[in-house]
Amino acid sequence: MRILMVGDVVGRPGRYFFMEQTPELRRQKNIDMVVVNGENAAHGKGLTPNIFEELTGGGADVVTTGNHIWDNPKVMEIIDTEPFLLRPANYPEDTPGKGFCIYPVGKKKIGVINMAGRVFMQPPMDDPFRLGDKILKFMEKNCDVILVDFHAEATSEKLAFANYFDGRVTAVVGTHTHIQTADEKILPKGTAYISDLGMVGAENSILGMAVEPVVKRFLTGRPSRFDVAEGAAIYCALLIDIDDKTNKAVKVKRIFIKPQERI
């Protein structure tokens, strides 16, 4: 089995590049399932029903999110009804939506867990380690493969989380920072890992946003309006090969498509 996990899609440039590249990637690389983080897909903040349909129509099977999931109130129209739209599981128990799902791929059942970190993150979240233990008691009995999108700021927290669950989940991939890291690997007990997938968004930007307002905020210390950067986009993801007999990851490969390298 081959799974593609795609970094945070940022605004219209990211959505369009995701929709352009993903179907061809699926075909060329024989990808069985695509998981993408969509929390920044609606003009850099949040998600809407129409944009969720764009992502799923463009090749996504499961859409994860993060701390910006609530930034666009229209997401409330679908957060409880779309079975393959996730928000971090460690929000309080009465939060709308769900933090994990099971997606069928042939005879396999693929569990996807969305979790958020707590270091340097707002709002405060429940403990992802202990909650992860509870979720896995259910997932381990009902899933062949388990994937985790760990939406967090600190690489130390991401590494600690992945090592804690090494061998119990098939993959832990980091999202949130929008910068792809070069530490993809398979941990000692068989879990695929990368600290951050990166983003699908404008190449000439600061994390997918227009450069000048971000620089101005650093220079002045005063608020400034951030808008999504326009222009050609990059596509960042991790390709994970999974042994069909053991359900363990056997190979990982970073995907980084620049505009001039589009498929």
At residue 213, what are phi and psi to the nearest 5 degrees?
A: -60, -35
Mean pLDDT of 161-165: 98
Mean pLDDT of 228-250: 96
* pLDDT value, residue 263: 79
CB atoms within 10 A of CB 128: 27
Residue 75 has pLDDT above 90, yes or no: yes
Fold classification of 2-261 is Purple Acid Phosphatase; chain A, domain 2 (3.60.21)
* pLDDT value, residue 122: 87
The CA angle 82-79-55, to the nearest 5 degrees, is 60
Q: What is the mean pLDDT of the chain?
A: 96
pTM: 0.96
Q: State CA 117 to chain mean position distance.
A: 13
pLDDT tens digits, one per residue of 80-108: 999 999 999 999 989 999 999 999 999 99
Residue 233 has pLDDT above 90, yes or no: yes
pLDDT tens digits, one per residue of 112-162: 999 999 999 988 899 999 999 999 999 999 999 999 999 999 999 999 999
* pLDDT value, residue 255: 98
- Give percent of the chain with pLDDT exceeding 70: 100
Domain boundaries, the chain: 2-261
Crossing angle for the helix pair 11-28 and 49-57, to the nearest 10 degrees: 30
Q: Which residues are known to be catalytic?
A: 68
